[in-house]
Amino acid sequence: MALLMLLAVVGIGAWQVFPPGGASATTTLELVAHGRDEVVDTREIEVGASFRLEHTHSVTRRLVVETFSVKDPTTLAIDELWFDEPGPNLPSGPEPSGDGHTTFLQEDGAFRVLHHGAAIGSLPLMVGGPAVDHTLVFADGERLRLLDVVRRGERVELAVGGTRR
């Protein structure tokens, strides 16, 4: 009986992640303003989909791009960090990430830090001002400028599937 129950639970979980008919599984991406404990933006996103967080580094004044993906219905993963000028709080070589280490590459005058899909659960962030301009960019080209939904200096968290901390 226990084996039958286990198979039923695994089957239901697989159906949620890989629904019948080849349809893509989706989850909910939420942006939560911690000071107000309020969901300020929500959208449906496919499991496996990637999106970027773009911002201007506060010291180098150069573009920084972080790429994330939805690893499963309740987990965000970090895939890559890109920048073209070293600066404070940016890596200068491989670092621990998840169960392994990042791969640090120098290509075409820029730096790529590959995180190999390391699970991060959720993404906490303090929103910078207009000079920093934190912006989420989705695969369909839609952009969400964080200053359009929260105040400068506000702490937010990006999470999928209702898993915020």
Task: Please enumerate in sequence order all residues whose Cβ is within 8 A of that of 99, keeping only pairs 6 or more positions apart, or say none.
Answer: 118
Does residue 60 belong to any structural domain of this protein?
Answer: yes
Q: What would the pLDDT profile of 102-133 be if each residue is shown by its tens digit?
A: 999 999 999 999 999 999 989 999 999 999 99
How much is the mean pLDDT over the chain? 87
**Mean pLDDT, rounded, for 19-44:** 84
Q: What would the pLDDT profile of 132-143 be if each residue is shown by its tens digit?
A: 999 999 999 999
Q: What would the pLDDT profile of 52-110 be if each residue is shown by its tens digit?
A: 999 999 999 999 999 999 999 999 999 999 999 999 999 999 999 888 999 999 999 99
Q: What's residue 35's pLDDT?
A: 79
Does residue 113 belong to any structural domain of this protein?
Answer: yes
Grouping H, G, I as helix, E, B as strand and the rest as coil, residue 59 is coil
Q: What's residue 141's pLDDT?
A: 95
Q: What's residue 154's pLDDT?
A: 96
Does residue 18 belong to any structural domain of this protein?
Answer: no
Does residue 9 belong to any structural domain of this protein?
Answer: no
Q: What's residue 98's pLDDT?
A: 80
Number of domains in the chain: 1
Does residue 11 belong to any structural domain of this protein?
Answer: no
Q: What's residue 5's pLDDT?
A: 37
Does residue 16 belong to any structural domain of this protein?
Answer: no
pLDDT more than 90, % of the chain: 77
Kindly indicate the confidence band of residue 163, based on its pLDDT and cuts at 50, 70 and 90. Answer: low
Task: Please enumerate in sequence order all residues whose Cβ is within 8 A of that of 143, keeping only pairs 6 or more positions apart, or say none.
Answer: 135, 136, 137
Compute and round to an integer the Cα radius of gyration of the chain: 18
Range of the domain at 56: 26-160
Q: What's residue 22's pLDDT?
A: 53
Q: What's residue 36's pLDDT?
A: 83
Does residue 50 belong to any structural domain of this protein?
Answer: yes
Does residue 21 belong to any structural domain of this protein?
Answer: no
The long-range contacts involving 148-154, CB below 8 angstroms and separated by at least 24 positions, are 149/31, 149/33, 149/40, 149/41, 150/31, 150/33, 150/40, 151/127, 152/127, 152/128, 153/126, 153/127, 153/129, 154/33, 154/34, 154/35, 154/126, 154/127
